Chains A and B, each alone.
Chain A
């Protein structure tokens, strides 16, 4: 279509996989059809600490249809424990008799039907040698690993203690956030099938190459003999980032039976067989001058982890670089308890740590008698306060200003309890949001066919983020095609490698790789056109040629339709493979991705600049004067994240993040039995996530921002930022409505009685 148009980056586009999703044709991992599968059901530990003395399996074996029962006694040696994504060692499962936490996998029952497997699993009797477990902070037996300030990734600038002691205005407060579980609606299923020595694993994943590599190591296999398939992912939010114990046991089971095995764990098992967001505690000290300038910032955090793990999120990396302050001291401590190992959950560091900082900032604004937005303006830094590096771009105040304008912030009466409406106390609160702009290496193959269609292959992950469509948009933009002319293949280890879909890094990583491969296509077409003896583009500078609207075009209107240009460059189809290594990472980092390792250029560890996404969030809460019911009738979020590839899906992602924030602030908490170290509300009726009626008006403003330094396409990532400021904006609004400062989440009716 030489005279047509083409899809461009930044134009709203309906998802290319949307039809599959609304017709039930999208195949999530447990929808993949395998021939005659055996069904697996997990047996999980009923104690949190101790040993398995033995099993009594007669009753379970007697259930008609039972095929096999796996325990450490018969298969313990067949797999190594999985490698944790980060931070120290991890807990074992069937590798030994050791029990590290409640709900640990201790046996796998296999049967002809799901019903038989479930019945038999319930008939497995276990003799335990139980020890008293430690559940959480303050439990007898919990071990705090005390670290010195400045160790770890902590920051020490100036003398925070002295500056705090001398400050004119101070905030000194402690905050807490609860245990939370991702609870994607798709369960944590795994299906394994062997063909000869080769294994296919159908499992929803945020990192198919990582899953493959870790599983290969566990099963002592060549990674090339494992194929991981994850075409559609039914929600992830961090829960499918690292490998968990279940996968290897399903693979071992399928090998023993010589038959495909499907595991569909229950919802409650999902609370203990994958990771979660651990509870945190914070101590914040802010010192300021009377005109609101910060002179001291101390942030110390405590996080729970399992006994062997060193996993921690260390959100002080962000809280140390939001505001200008000459004296900063941060520290993170970890507390080991008899719990499953925690892991990433949406904005892992920022959700808890920014709650503490941004609530403290609101308290400071109150002490100063200053508007909270103005307090942020006064403390806007010239450069990254923690390192002195420039920000590649920083639009925090434009976000505050545009958000405030839309919200109507200037009509706020600052006195708490002053804005009631009938029986409802109305509160308005705001908070800053920030998240590092991360990016990982990725490889991609683009094939242009004679019909002028493109096929893009990349082992990316669409976890609901719209990756299929973002990839297609990028390719269409760069190749001058319509969206419908691009076919995308993702979610499998047969494709060129892409890294972990986490840390809001994925769109930047994969789209830059796609653009690079497309640039390779353009160069090949341009080279062939200019070196030809015929054609309108012969003899021109190849760098001056572009692909747009179905044609290769030169300056001054010379153009050649794509099929013609292609025929000259390659017979049949033109295939280009490219690897994109983000700025600051070594060339071998793409090899690490192929080997399933984490490789990421992080927004706070680049040499040239600090790269961050910023946002400002405004919330109205209503608290009923008698019942103290808390509602959120409206929220406005303004975010600047560089290039937005697809505003339609970006809106959904920001909005989803904000609603996650409503859940985190007001609903979600996994309750832990302090004696048994056991999750109590391990289902989605009692673990409260927002439902439709909990959500009213959510407005998203995408503040325009161009950042040519962050990466070539200027993409910063948006998956996490939507949740980051919500906890504090809501707690600040609750203070404004009621005069009550709640420093522990979630905020519930009983906190306001």
Chain B
């Protein structure tokens, strides 16, 4: 079936199996492999992308159901050699990862966490970032990264 996906401001027309998830469409068809598959079951958060600004699990959304939305993936946050998004910079500065596999999902989730107004305290960040598993267990540094980026994102 033909679908039209708007990803990082670019429209892509492609034919997919109706069962294809947004995650597989991004990774396997559009070669946007920054979005990761960690479980395909909605359990890990590695596949987190933003749909119309809201964080969603792309393994839990069929590509056909993602057609109306503006989809943002990790690749769209900063161009090559362009300055990083404050959240990307914060993850870099704080060493808020090890293997980096959960990181794209963490960063998109963290951006949404700030925008939702759920980053007002370390406790709140911990709670609202708990849908993104990090097996390397960078959690305290992820909290620090969100705290570093928040004021920059809010332009203060």
Q: A interface vs B, CB < 8 Å? A: 14-15, 17-28, 30-31, 33, 113-116, 182-187, 232-237, 264, 266-267, 463-466, 648-649, 651-653, 655-656, 659-660, 663, 683-685, 689-698
20 contacts between A and B (CB under 8 A): A15-B95, A18-B91, A22-B88, A22-B89, A22-B97, A23-B34, A23-B75, A24-B35, A24-B75, A28-B33, A114-B24, A184-B135, A185-B133, A185-B135, A649-B95, A656-B138, A685-B43, A691-B131, A692-B129, A694-B139
Check B101–A28 contact: CB distance below 8 A.
yes
A233 touching B99, Cβ below 8 Å: yes
Q: Are A33 and B31 closer than 8 Å at their CB atoms?
A: yes
Q: Give the docked Cα–Cα distance between A695 and B101 (Å).
A: 20
Instruction: Report whether A464 and B141 are in contact in the complex, using a CB–CB cutoff of 8 Å.
Output: no
Q: Which of A264, A463, A696 contacts B99, CB < 8 Å? A: A463
B46 → chain A, closest Cβ, in Å? 5
Q: Contact partner of B92 among A18, A232, A690, CB < 8 A?
A: A18
User: What residue of chain B has the Cβ atom nearest to residue A466's Cβ?
Assistant: B98
A-contacting residues, B28-76, CB 8 Å? 28, 31-41, 43-44, 46, 73-75
Q: In whole angstroms, what is the CA distance A15 to B77 when docked? A: 20
Chain B facing A: main interface SS: loop
Pairwise interchain contact A695-B104, C-beta atoms closer than 8 A: no
Residues of B within 8 A of A648 (CB): 95
Q: Is the CB of B43 within 8 A of A683?
A: yes
**A20–B34 Cα gap in the complex (Å)?**
10
For window 115-152 of B, CB contacts with A under 8 Å fall at: 125-127, 129-143
Q: Are A27 and B33 in contact (CB under 8 A)?
A: yes
Instruction: Tell me whether B153 is interfacial, beta carbon within 8 Å.
Output: no
B2 contacts partner chain A, Cβ-Cβ < 8 Å: no
Query: Is A690 within 8 A of B36, CB to CB?
Result: no
| CB–CB B41/A652 < 8 A | no
In the complex, chain B residues whose CB is within 8 Å of the CB of A31: 27, 33
B84 at the A/B interface (Cβ < 8 Å)?
A: yes
CB distance from A683 to the nearest CB of B (A): 6
For A14, what are the chain B residues with a Cβ–Cβ distance below 8 Å?
Answer: 92-93, 95
8 Å CB contact of B130 from A114, A660, A693, A697: A693
**Chain A interface, >50% SS class:** loop
A698 x B140 contact (CB < 8 A)? yes
Q: Tell me the complex Cα distance, A651–B125, Å.
A: 21
Q: A24 to B104, alpha carbons, bound, how many Å? A: 6
When each residue 78-94 of chain B gets 1 if its CB lies under 8 Å from chain A and 0 otherwise, what string results?
A: 10000010001101110
Within 8 Å by CB of A21, from B31, B97, B125, lies B97
Q: Are A692 and B142 in contact (CB-based, < 8 A)?
A: yes
Closest 10 CB pairs of A and B: A24-B34, A234-B101, A464-B99, A464-B98, A21-B100, A659-B137, A24-B74, A31-B33, A22-B88, A185-B38
- What are the residues of chain B within 8 A of A655 when measuring CB–CB? 137-138, 140-141
What does the 1/0 interface line of B6-27 toward A look like (CB < 8 Å)? Answer: 0000000000010110001001
User: Do B43 and A267 touch across chains, with their CB atoms under 8 A apart?
Assistant: yes
Contacts of A652 in B (CB 8 A): 95, 97-98, 136, 138, 141
Closest to B35 in A: A24
Within the complex, the shortest CB–CB distance from B102 to chain A, in Å, comes to 5
CB distance from B103 to the nearest CB of A (A): 5
Chain A residue nearest to B39 in the complex (CB) = A267
Supply 14 further A-B pairs (C-beta < 8 A) apart from A22-B100, A185-B134, A649-B95: A18-B92, A18-B95, A21-B91, A24-B74, A30-B33, A31-B27, A183-B135, A185-B99, A187-B38, A648-B95, A652-B136, A663-B137, A684-B39, A693-B130
Using CB atoms, name the residue of chain B closest to A685. Answer: B43
Q: Which residues from A are CB-within-8-Å of B41?
A: 267, 683, 685
**Complex Cα–Cα for A466 and B127 (A):** 28
Cβ–Cβ contact A22 & B103, under 8 A = yes
Known: A187-B38, A652-B95. A693 touches B100 (CB 8 A): no
B146 to chain A: closest residue by CB: A692
Interface: B5 (CB within 8 A): no
Q: Point out which of B37, B130, B142 has the most chain A C-beta atoms below 10 A from its C-beta.
A: B37
B40: which of A15, A17, A267, A656 is its contact (CB, 8 Å)?
Answer: A267
Contact (Cβ within 8 A) A186 B99: yes
Are A464 and B39 neighbours in the complex by a CB distance under 8 Å?
no
Q: Which of B17, B35, B98, B137 contacts A695 (CB 8 A)?
A: B137
With A23-B78, A233-B99, A655-B140 already in contact, the answer to whether A689 and B92 are too (CB < 8 A) is no
Q: Give every chain A residue within 8 A of B95 (Cβ-Cβ).
A: 14-15, 18, 648-649, 651-652
- The answer on a CB contact under 8 Å between A690 and B100 is no
Tell me, yes or no, whether B112 is within 8 Å of chain A by CB.
no
Instruction: Assess whether A656 is in contact with B137, with CB atoms less than 8 Å apart.
Output: yes
- CB neighbours of B43 from chain A (8 A): 267, 683-685
A695 with B126, Cβ < 8 A, contacts A24-B73, A185-B99, A186-B101 known: yes
Q: Which residue of A lies closest to B34 (CB)?
A: A24
Cβ contacts under 8 Å, A116 to chain B = 17
Question: Which of A23, A233, A698: most chain B Cβ within 10 A?
Answer: A23
B107 at the interface (CB under 8 A from A): yes
With contacts A264-B37, A267-B40 known, is A691 near B130, CB below 8 A? Answer: yes
